[in-house]
Amino acid sequence: MAKKHSTTALTAEDHKMQDERYAQGHEYDYVFVGTGNSALVAAALLANAGKKICMLEAHDIPGGYAQTFEMGNFKFCAQVHYIWGCAPGGLIYEFLKKVGLEKDITFEVMGPEFYDLMAMPDGKKVGIPYGFDKLVENIEKDYPGEKEKVEKFCKTIDDLRDEMARFPNRPLTLLDYITKWPQFLKMIKYRKKTVQDLFDECGLSKEAQAILCANAGDFMLPPNRLSLFSYAGLFGGYNTGSYYPTKHFKYYVDRLGSFITDHEGCHIYYETKVTKFDVKNGKIAGVETEDGKRFEAKENFVCNMDPQSAAKMIGWEYFSAKQKEQLSYEYSQSGVVIYLGLKKGFDLREHGFGSFNIWHLEQWDMNKMWDEMAVGDFSNPWVFLSTPTLHTHEGGNSPDDQQILELASYIEYKPFKERADKSYKDYVELKMKIADRMIDLVEEKYIPNLRDNVEVKVVGSPMTSEDFVMAPVGNAYGSAMTVQNVSAGRLKAETPFSNLWWCNASSGYAGMYGTAATGVNLYMQLTGDEYYTGDVPASDDKLLKDLHAKLA
């Protein structure tokens, strides 16, 4: 389906400037296909190390899912709402420090009492605070009798995170298997377990389960399919500090882009879609674009686009049976996002909102809820409510005295695709029907006069993501975070070609933190500059201690 709107499409003059630059015949050490977060992180590190970088972006703005689009007087970040690892010792902070941007790109702590508020079907609201001890207290206060069970659950997550932090970030050797296995007993035990498996093991009530998995939208999977490792990574990560960029995610993305191009001989080409990988003598000799350009790299090519799509473009005959198996991953699910720019003077704080997100549930059983919503049954859905303009005092995303409210929920790609294949009108009708149901819920439960105070409304579907981010079936996180995909056999950076590397959510980790880690790890692998190892990463205990001291 063709794009119905493009926010910042290049002008004829922009294209002329790019063409003139291309004609100068620049030589590059690295050529990146795509400008998603993992690519921006890796490219910034490489540019900082003196490499000549070229980035090719099919869209007209950088960032992938972290891009910000403009509509009216508002700027909406497409998919990102919060991030962790932003304090000293955290991966995001140490990456920015490495390239000298830690005082330029800064972050605000959400909360401070809680960063997520779980709104339960019985009307109770339970805050998710910093520190599992406080979380246990909050759950026990509203639902007595769960203390020991929740403590057992949180202790398991803590133990897993401790082992995961110490797990070698390299292929394991036979010696590793012989000598190191006693250090990773929890990882061995739970490597094939889902979140629901641990819920059942701990004997958690439906109320405690709902609180602990109300944020399933962060993973785009229900608890009976979600890898426990993925949950431990994200839920435990936010527990050490949930952050929002002081100048919003648009500044984060744009600043990384300008940091790269500020280095001599480093360029980003927009509306430059790669359509061919040229293979010669077992290597990638170059990539060719839709507009007839060819780009070569003296050292390496880095593929930020979806690996399955790239492998098809390259040719499956170059991939081994094992590599084909790794590339046959199931895509993650997606959903609907409603971006609302509110009228001047309307204050969300008067309706109970603040520097936190709300996860609203209409029924207790998250697994049942996801099954219903997959086919478009929104009679009892979950809805995510985020208020980015309340996460920082810095303006820039909205006019003065105006705010943004974003709503999100889950539905499969298939219902939209079936209707779009019939007619664009049918597609829009389904999208608006679901959006209206979500807004109805928000008006009923939170803001009675919401519709009367909306100045700008934009609704995105899985097909919107497929269109603007080139995400197959509108996936949110590359490969789904199932037990099958989150394992030792998961796709990694290596490809069949010594000078081509994967660098995206499917070949590393999903989300803003995860993709940043993917970019950092690739940089360290390519250069041998292992700056984020040893004593640099802070433990969860230290991050929590420093955070509580900051908030005191």
At residue 486, the pLDDT reads: 84
DSSP designation for 533: S
At residue 79, the pLDDT reads: 87
**CA-to-CA distance for 406 and 357, rounded, in angstroms?**
10
At residue 1, the pLDDT reads: 38
Q: What is the pLDDT of residues 122-161, one digit of tens each?
A: 999 999 999 999 999 999 999 999 999 999 999 999 999 9
Q: Which of 252, 290, 285 is nearest to 270 (CA)?
A: 290
Rounded average pLDDT per 10-residue block, the chain, 552 residues:
55 94 97 98 98 96 93 93 96 98 98 96 97 97 97 96 77 62 79 96 98 93 95 95 97 98 97 96 96 97 97 96 93 94 97 97 96 92 97 93 96 93 94 96 97 97 90 93 83 95 93 96 96 91 94 86
Q: What is the location of CATH 3.50.50.60 in the chain?
A: 26-107+246-330+476-527
Provide the angle, in degrees to the nearest 10, between the axes of the packed helices 147-166 and 206-213: 30
* H/E stretch holding 340: strand 335-342
At residue 490, the pLDDT reads: 83
At residue 390, the pLDDT reads: 97
CA angle 218, 224, 229 (to 5 degrees): 60
At residue 531, the pLDDT reads: 96
Q: Before 144, cis peptide (omega within 30)?
A: no
Identity at 322, one-letter amino acid code: K
Per-position b or e across 166-189, b if 16+ CB within 10 A of its CB: eeeeeeeeeeeeeeeeeebebbee
pTM score, whole prediction:
0.95
At residue 460, the pLDDT reads: 94
* Strand ranges of the sheet holding 357-361, from the earlier edge strand across to the other edge: 125-128, 116-119, 357-361, 382-386, 404-410, 335-342, 454-460
Q: What is the 3-state secondary structure (H, E, C) of 77-96?
A: ECCCCCECCCCCCCHHHHHH
* H/E stretch holding 466: helix 462-469
Instruction: Give me the architecture of the 115-150+190-245+336-469 domain, per CATH.
Output: Alpha-Beta Complex (3.90)
Could you tell me if 188 and 164 are in contact, meaning their C-beta atoms sit under 8 angstroms apart? no
At residue 177, the pLDDT reads: 56
Domain 26-107+246-330+476-527 belongs in CATH node 3.50.50.60: yes
What's the distance, CA 418 to chain centroid? Answer: 27
Q: What is the location of CATH 3.90.660.50 in the chain?
A: 115-150+190-245+336-469
Cα–Cα distances in angstroms (integers) from residue 265 to residues 31, 79, 258, 464, in the given order: 12, 31, 13, 34
**CA-to-CA distance for 516 and 522, rounded, in angstroms?**
10
Q: Which of 366, 97, 403 is nearest to 218 (CA)?
A: 366
**CA-to-CA distance for 86 and 547, rounded, in angstroms?**
11
- Beta bridge partners, 117, equal 127, 358
